[in-house]
Structure 1
Amino acid sequence: MASTHRRIALIAPPWYPVPPDGYGGIELVVGLLTKELRAQGHKVELFAAEGSALASRQLAGRHWDTALGRSEEHVRDLTYASRVLNLIDRLRPFDVIHDHTGGGVLLGLAIKPPAPVVHTVHLALKEPVRTFLESLAPDRVRLIAISEAQRQSVAHLPWTATVHNAVDLAALRVGQPERKDPYLLSLARICASKGQHLAIEAARRAGRRLLLAGKIEATPQGFEYYERQIAPAVDGDRVTYLGNVSGEEKTRLLARASALLAPLQWDEPFGLYMAEAMASGTPVIAFPRGAAPELITPGKTGFLVPDVEEMVGAVAQADHVDREQCAAYARAQFDPRRMADGYLQVYERAIAEWATPTSITVSATDPAITRLRGANRRRSQLSLGKSEVGGK
């Protein structure tokens, strides 16, 4: 970990407050990182949406999330990018800029980086995201994966490091499962890729209640999935849909569940809800896709199963997991301090490479180089090859 206190720009997406008051996994992670970096003495300027308790600069409207999935989304993204980039230019210099948006902000920073730029890839690496990331010059943007599974899915990208997400340990508590009428929990966005229809089947065959929590994906496909495959099974008794949950309700659900079911139908790059369950002492039973094998330690924090039949069998095994041990292991793995230390190592490497001329490939006509040449002539008449590129 660096001993030097740094001036860091953190850029959250424009859709939800930091920290979020409900849905918002990226915003949760950015909030935890902001608090930990500040606790370690670093000067953090957080750019985020209106309503963000931790933000130094609130540059997006409170209800911009209503544009998600609609044509207005791109205009909102560009508006936010314009505001962020203009303000960063006025507030510079920064030692490092850490982007979590992946949209117009990242493009602007990649074209003309005013400082070392780090970008955490939170999105699934499908088209067109993959092509966009491939187009970025590796000497201008350093890409961070949130799991080795995500990193290996597109291994040819110029990854700098892998840093696991953290969870809000202070908001979670370790509990014992409901004994009178035990329940299984599904806590995720309601969509086909999360496989809630399979969780319903597994719970039915295991003879357990299932509580479904999470917002319905706001797409035609998401609503159709809920209406056709989830709603018919919801009876308020054996299968209950709770909607989106947060705060104490979410904490209690995680702490009292016998197990969390994650019959994944896609290669999820992380899965905060799995980490939160394990940090609450609740074992996770998941299909071995995406980052699940990386996050779950079989027998200690959960089980990896290939299908519904074995998921049913694992439900009984989950009753014998040592919940205190499960929580202790997960809390060490997903500690915000551990995440912050990982990013600080990335920052220091990026700063060192930024200050080394041979590490950056640029055009002789690049405006940044033109300005640098002028500054160098005034300072010491050193040649460009011996100058400190991007020095503070």
Structure 2
Amino acid sequence: MSRSLRIALVASARFPIKEPFAGGLEAHTWSLAHALTARGHHVELFAAPGSDPALDVVELPVHRPSLSSAARSDVSMPDHAWMEEHHAYLRLMLDLGEDGGRHYDVVHNNSLHHLPIAMAPAVRSPVVTTLHTPPTPWLESAIQAPAHCPVTFTAVSDHTAAAWRPLVAAARVIRNGVDTALWRRGEGGDHLVWSGRIVPEKGPHLAAEAARKAGHPLRLAGPIGDMDYFRTHVAPLLDEDITYAGHLGRRDLARLVGGAAAALVTPCWDEPYGLVVAEALACGTPVCGFDRGALGEIVDEDSGLLAPPDDVGALAELIDATTRLDRRAVRTRAERFCSLDAMADGYTSLYQELAA
């Protein structure tokens, strides 16, 4: 029988881990913390100020270090946000490298910052890092800095694991999961839905163009991450058929997605995973999207149809066929492939191996 573990869960410091979530990374971290706690593990979440008080949150010291006037005038001085984040992770890892690290059976890093990897050799507990993105120069440098990087790596998809393979030979794939008790199978409806951060790389304007070509109304939902992009490329497309529902909490978003005929997923880059895909499948809402990144891993022939990248016309042509897919089969795909239980099983098994 597995024993209860003390887990330090390191989050991204950029946004609080609370609803409505700033993005998929924050939603993933929140869900993982709750799932592990529900299994009897003691989880301390190191996260930005303002995170969900229902979690055992230790606030990352996200504040500006006291810099001299000479340092501030240095032409190479990064912006304030970069310095605040750097300072927060530096203090955290120094603490974990001292007595703080002895309190945990495992430290699980879900941030995108290089310091939890670079400073892992100083931590007595095993350190796990989940690779949520394609390779970045900062993380590649941190991995290569020691003669032997002691970090155990996981990846959110086969696609992401393959992208990192030249440097990380054996990342265990543990896909992000969604709570299928919250994201319930809906009855569908007449409208299409698009959800996610409203930024250029997510391509909501392409979803709006495809929906209009196919003659279907579309509901957009999510935080506006780039106001200039929203005003220039999205707002001009809004009318009585293409509407913006706002930045919704999970329950409201689940109702919106569950009431849609299909979900449009239009990445303009190679998505490392795509949590919105898993959320749609859990609602029984079939996915019509661009075949980029990990989407082809999550969606199978019973749960969605994929068009060539950036081909709005091809996407529009697939919409009607997508809406006719069996919603029960779509839901079954989520239960078997990308549930919260499956994700928690994967991480718990890994933690137990390392703690042993």
For normalisation by structure 2, the TM-score amounts to 0.86
Instruction: Kindly indicate whether residue 70 of structure 2 is the aligned counterpart of residue 71 of structure 1.
Output: no
C-alpha contact 1:15 1:60 (8 A) present in aligned 2:
no
Q: Secondary structure at the residue paired with 1:170?
A: coil
Number of corresponding residues: 337
Distance change >3 Å, CA 126–CA 108, structure 1 → 2: closer
C-alpha contact 1:161 1:346 (8 A) present in aligned 2:
no
Distance change >3 Å, CA 138–CA 177, structure 1 → 2: farther
Which deviates more, 155-164 or 268-277? 155-164
Instruction: Kindly indicate whether residue 316 of structure 2 is the aligned counterpart of residue 317 of structure 1.
Output: no
In the TM superposition, what is the alpha-carbon distance from 1:208 to its structure 2 partner?
0.7
Which residue in 2 is equivalent to 1:231? 235
C-alpha contact 2:63 2:88 (8 A) present in aligned 1:
no
In the TM superposition, what is the alpha-carbon distance from 1:334 to its structure 2 partner?
1.8
Which of residues 161, 166, 186 is equivalent to 1:175?
A: 186
Residue type of the alignment partner of 2:181: A
Which residue in 1 is equivalent to 2:174? 163
In 1, Cα distance between the equivalents of 2:219 and 2:247? 12
Residue type of the alignment partner of 2:307: V
- Aligned pairs for 1:105-254 (under 5 A) are 105-107=115-117, 109-135=119-145, 138-158=148-168, 159-178=170-189, 182-217=190-225, 222-235=226-239, 237-254=240-257
In 1, Cα distance between the equivalents of 2:267 and 2:24? 18
Distance change >3 Å, CA 268–CA 9, structure 1 → 2: same
Distance change >3 Å, CA 138–CA 209, structure 1 → 2: farther
In the TM superposition, what is the alpha-carbon distance from 1:255 to its structure 2 partner?
0.6
Distance change >3 Å, CA 258–CA 228, structure 1 → 2: same
In 2, Cα distance between the equivalents of 1:256 and 1:200? 18
Residue type of the alignment partner of 2:282: A
In the TM superposition, what is the alpha-carbon distance from 1:335 to its structure 2 partner?
1.8
C-alpha contact 1:80 1:105 (8 A) present in aligned 2:
no
Residue type of the alignment partner of 1:22: F
C-alpha contact 1:18 1:55 (8 A) present in aligned 2:
no
Structure 1 unaligned regions, length at least 5: 65-69, 353-392
Distance change >3 Å, CA 274–CA 214, structure 1 → 2: same
In 2, Cα distance between the equivalents of 1:14 and 1:126? 18
Which residue in 2 is equivalent to 1:305? 307
How large is the RMSD of aligned CA atoms in angstroms? Answer: 2.5
Moved over 6 A (4+): 61-64
In the TM superposition, what is the alpha-carbon distance from 1:342 to its structure 2 partner?
0.9
C-alpha contact 1:173 1:255 (8 A) present in aligned 2:
yes
In 2, Cα distance between the equivalents of 1:18 and 1:224? 25
Partner deviation per Cα, 1:349-374 (whole Å, 9 max, x = no partner):
4345xxxxxxxxxxxxxxxxxxxxxx
Percent of matched pairs sharing the same residue:
32
Instruction: Kindly indicate whether residue 267 of structure 2 is the aligned counterpart of residue 257 of structure 1.
Output: no
For the pair shown, which has the larger CA radius of gyration, 1 or 2? 1
Residue type of the alignment partner of 1:52: D
In 1, Cα distance between the equivalents of 2:63 and 2:93? 21
In 2, Cα distance between the equivalents of 1:281 and 1:137? 48
C-alpha contact 1:206 1:312 (8 A) present in aligned 2:
yes
- Aligned pairs for 1:18-33 (under 5 A) are 18-33=17-32
Residue type of the alignment partner of 1:274: V
In 1, Cα distance between the equivalents of 2:313 and 2:215? 13
Distance change >3 Å, CA 139–CA 154, structure 1 → 2: closer
